[in-house]
């Protein structure tokens, strides 16, 4: 729902009232730092980005732009799966081309170079999203993008991939693939440790994230640290983070890790959010992409790529889907159902299910501990994924495993197996 009136109009605020926080592949986020405001205080604005060559399209359609789909998707769909205490408030607001352009200009000096070369704020949009500011205020906040929490159901894996996929999680294989392609990755971090709920393993996951964060000069998207609402680099940690960790005299960044770990560990091991996310990822991805691809081939015949010609689910379809998922998910064992016997309706269910699992595989959590607000852990970036991505995911899945197997065969990757603590649940 759009909220009207000047109190909900960000374009009536100064651009300098908004401070760049961070960005992902699809959006850029700014926090409100102006004078106390009834709506914007303690809030961020999340604006959509577009590739550089597409951001300046003129939007001359007369109809009102729909609200950003993340709002209805969270309020009507994911809210049925994740307790409200772990979700930010989201509201739609109107913006103008001029205002977005000024916002974009104000952000340039703070943006990562790689992102700047690829995209910028989408000037054709007329709506943005206001959300709870989860990193602002006097204290510190930590953002973790945990990624894939489970090893796949073996029932539908091919003989070529089974051994690799049952011993190595998707994130670990993907990190190796990314590194081989010259991309930055948090190599060594295994999400299965983070999601294990076991203190030792959660600590190990945090240590790997911390080491990568230090080594890659803060340029990994799996760990971000904010102090007073601003993203910090490792070189700023001694001055800015150390006092908040009770280590004002620390002289070595690695000496900060034990205090960092000690502050975060209770929240990470006690929260229900991580096990909820892991359970959703696993049960929504019941067939693995390989099973889904086979089901597509059986139902469609021919060689059309996975998902060809399918439309994105409407919000009504998503709501109906999530209700059916909740009603039928408990104790369901798909491996007992032959793919050949599944109907087209069941295939649509599994396709939506896979799409939704991808949302939970790609979201982040923001943790706040011991600052001026109560301890909390909140999930962000729960946007619906587009159906036309299915075929790319299928290709990516093959590439990641093939590259991993090649790396092992060539002897330049040696790693312990990933252990899925939740596989028997
Ligand atoms: O495929 P993945 O696992 O690499 O995930 C993509 C993310 O890459 P990551 O590996 O986390 O660095 C990627 O993150 P970055 O842009 O690399 O920070 C996006 O989150 C992308 O989602 P979308 O295109 O914005 O909807 C993500 O794509 P989806 O797979 O979720 O569509
Ligand atoms: N409510 C919030 N409060 C504070 N910071 C936020 C909030 N929402 C997002 N951010 C920051 O902005 C960044 C980008 O937001 P988000 O992850 O939603 O973007 P995205 O483009 O969808 O990401 P991805 O590339 O993972 O798809 C986050 O990584 C986080 O640092």
Residue 62 confidence (pLDDT) = 65
- The ligand whose atoms approach the alpha carbon of 144 most closely is 2
Atom number, ligand 1, closest to the C-alpha of residue 396: 1
Cα distance between residue 245 and residue 329, in whole Å:
42
Ligand 2: lining residues by beta carbon, under 6 Å? 21-27, 29, 44, 46, 88, 131-135, 143, 224, 362, 364, 380-381, 383
Residue 91 confidence (pLDDT) = 97
Residue 256 confidence (pLDDT) = 97
CB contact set of 2 (below 8 Å; sequence gap of 6+): 67, 92, 93, 94, 127
Report ipTM for this prediction. Answer: 0.97
Cα distance between residue 409 and residue 325, in whole Å:
40
List average pLDDT for each run of 10 residues in the chain, which is 425 residues long: 66 97 96 96 97 80 86 97 98 96 97 96 96 93 98 95 98 96 95 98 98 96 96 96 93 95 96 97 96 95 91 97 91 76 94 98 94 87 97 97 96 92 75
Q: Cα 142 to the chain's mean position, in Å?
A: 14
Contact at 8 Å (CB) between 123 and 256?
no
Residue 250 confidence (pLDDT) = 87
User: Cα of 353 to ligand 1 centre, how many Å?
Assistant: 18
* pLDDT tens, residue by residue, 107-135: 999 999 999 999 999 999 999 999 999 99
Q: Ligand 1 pocket: which of 22, 25, 122 to mutate (most atoms <8 Å of CB)?
A: 25
Residue recorded with tokens 């076991």: 198
Which domains, from first to last, does the chain contain? 6-69+89-133 (3.30.200.110), 135-425 (no CATH)
Cα distance between residue 76 and residue 322, in whole Å:
9
Contact at 8 Å (CB) between 2 and 93?
yes
Q: Ligand 1 pocket: which of 149, 362, 389 to mutate (most atoms <8 Å of CB)?
A: 362
* Token pair in block for residue 411: 């002897």
- List, edge to edge, every strand of the sheet that includes 140-144: 230-231, 223-227, 140-144, 364-368, 376-380
Closest C-alpha to ligand 1, atom 12: 221
Residue 307 confidence (pLDDT) = 95
Residue 261 confidence (pLDDT) = 98
Residue among 45, 11, 42, 10 at smallest CA distance from 27: 45
Note the maximum CA span of the chain: 67
């Amino acid at each position: 729902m759009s909220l009207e009136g000047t109190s909900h109009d960000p374009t009536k605020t100064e651009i300098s009232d908004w401070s760049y926080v961070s960005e992902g592949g699809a959006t850029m986020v700014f926090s409100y730092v102006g004078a106390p405001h009834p709506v914007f205080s303690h809030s961020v604005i999340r604006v959509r980005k577009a590739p550089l060559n597409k951001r300046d399209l003129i939007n001359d359609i007369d109809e009102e732009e729909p609200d950003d789909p993340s709002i209805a998707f969270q309020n009507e769909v994911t809210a049925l799966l994740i307790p409200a205490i772990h979700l930010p408030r989201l509201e739609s607001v109107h913006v103008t081309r001029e205002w977005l352009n000024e916002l974009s200009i104000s952000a340039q000096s703070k943006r990562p170079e790689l992102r700047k070369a690829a995209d910028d704020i989408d000037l054709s949009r007329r709506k943005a999203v206001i959300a709870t500011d989860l990193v602002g205020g006097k204290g510190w906040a930590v953002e973790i993008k945990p990624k894939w929490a489970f090893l796949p159901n073996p029932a539908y894996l091919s003989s070529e991939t089974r051994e690799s996929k049952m011993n190595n999680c998707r994130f670990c294989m993907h990190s190796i693939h990314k590194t081989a392609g010259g991309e930055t990755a948090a190599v060594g971090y295994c999400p299965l440790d983070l999601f294990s709920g076991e203190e030792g393993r959660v600590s190990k996951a945090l240590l790997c994230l911390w080491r990568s964060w230090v080594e890659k000069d803060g340029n990994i998207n799996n760990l971000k640290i904010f102090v007073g609402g601003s993203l910090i680099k490792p070189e700023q940690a001694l001055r800015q983070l150390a006092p908040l960790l009770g280590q004002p005299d620390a002289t070595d960044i690695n000496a900060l890790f034990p205090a960092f770990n000690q502050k975060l560990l209770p929240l990470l091991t006690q929260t229900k959010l991580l096990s909820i996310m892991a359970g959703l990822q696993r049960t929504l991805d019941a067939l693995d992409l390989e099973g889904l691809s086979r089901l597509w081939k059986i139902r469609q015949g021919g060689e059309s790529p996975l998902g060809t010609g399918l439309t994105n689910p409407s919000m009504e379809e998503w709501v109906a889907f999530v209700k059916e998922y909740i009603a039928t998910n408990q104790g369901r064992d798909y491996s007992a159902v032959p793919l050949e016997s599944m109907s087209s309706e069941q295939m649509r269910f599994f396709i939506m299910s896979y799409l939704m699992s991808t949302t939970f595989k790609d979201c982040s959590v923001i943790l706040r501990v011991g600052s001026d607000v109560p301890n909390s852990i909140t999930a962000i970036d729960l946007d619906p994924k587009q159906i036309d991505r299915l075929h790319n995911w299928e290709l990516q899945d093959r590439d990641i495993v093939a590259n991993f197997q090649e790396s092992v065969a060539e002897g330049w990757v040696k790693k312990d197996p990933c252990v899925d603590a939740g596989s028997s649940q």
